[in-house]
């Protein structure tokens, strides 16, 4: 393998695919995405009632998904409403399908 710095060796598409895959690498995050995909949006408190985890743990998983761009949040105190980021969700699906093709 040539002596190429890691950042230059992997394509932007590969880096993005890995970012999405990392965000999906926990069953709670999969459950969150399934919950959000089944409805238009969902409030943090409602998700906390649906999922068998502490609110603080839920917040950490939502932060990971949001950081990867798979979900988006609308912060209107005292509530935060989350939705699937449709464009990035479709991109993640396409990139991951490409890996498994």
Radius of gyration, CA atoms only, the chain: 16
CA atoms within 13 A on the CB side of 55: 7
Residue 22 per-residue DSSP state: H
pLDDT of residue 33: 96
Residue 7 pLDDT grade (very low, low, confident, very high; cuts 50, 70, 90): low
The confidence score (pLDDT) of residue 2 equals: 60
Task: Enumerate domains of the chain plus CATH numbers.
Answer: 14-100 (1.10.10.10)
28 three-class SS: helix
Torsion of CA 49, 43, 38, 33, to 10 degrees: -80
pLDDT (average), residues 73-101:
92
Q: What pLDDT score was predicted for residue 42?
A: 93
The predicted-structure confidence for 9-68, as pLDDT tens digits, reads as follows 899 999 999 999 999 999 999 999 999 999 989 999 999 999 999 999 999 999 999 999
- Which residues partner with 73 through β-bridges? 82
């Amino acid at each position: 393998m040539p002596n190429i710095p890691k950042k230059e060796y992997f394509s932007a598409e590969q880096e993005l695919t890995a970012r999405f895959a990392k965000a999906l690498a926990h069953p709670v995050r999969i459950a969150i995405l399934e919950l959000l995909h089944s409805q238009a949006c969902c409030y943090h408190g409602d998700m906390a009632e649906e999922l068998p985890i502490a609110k603080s743990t839920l917040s950490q998983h939502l932060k990971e998904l949001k950081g990867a761009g798979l979900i988006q949040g609308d912060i209107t105190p005292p509530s935060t409403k989350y939705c699937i980021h449709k464009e990035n969700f479709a991109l993640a699906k396409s990139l991951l399908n490409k890996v498994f093709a």
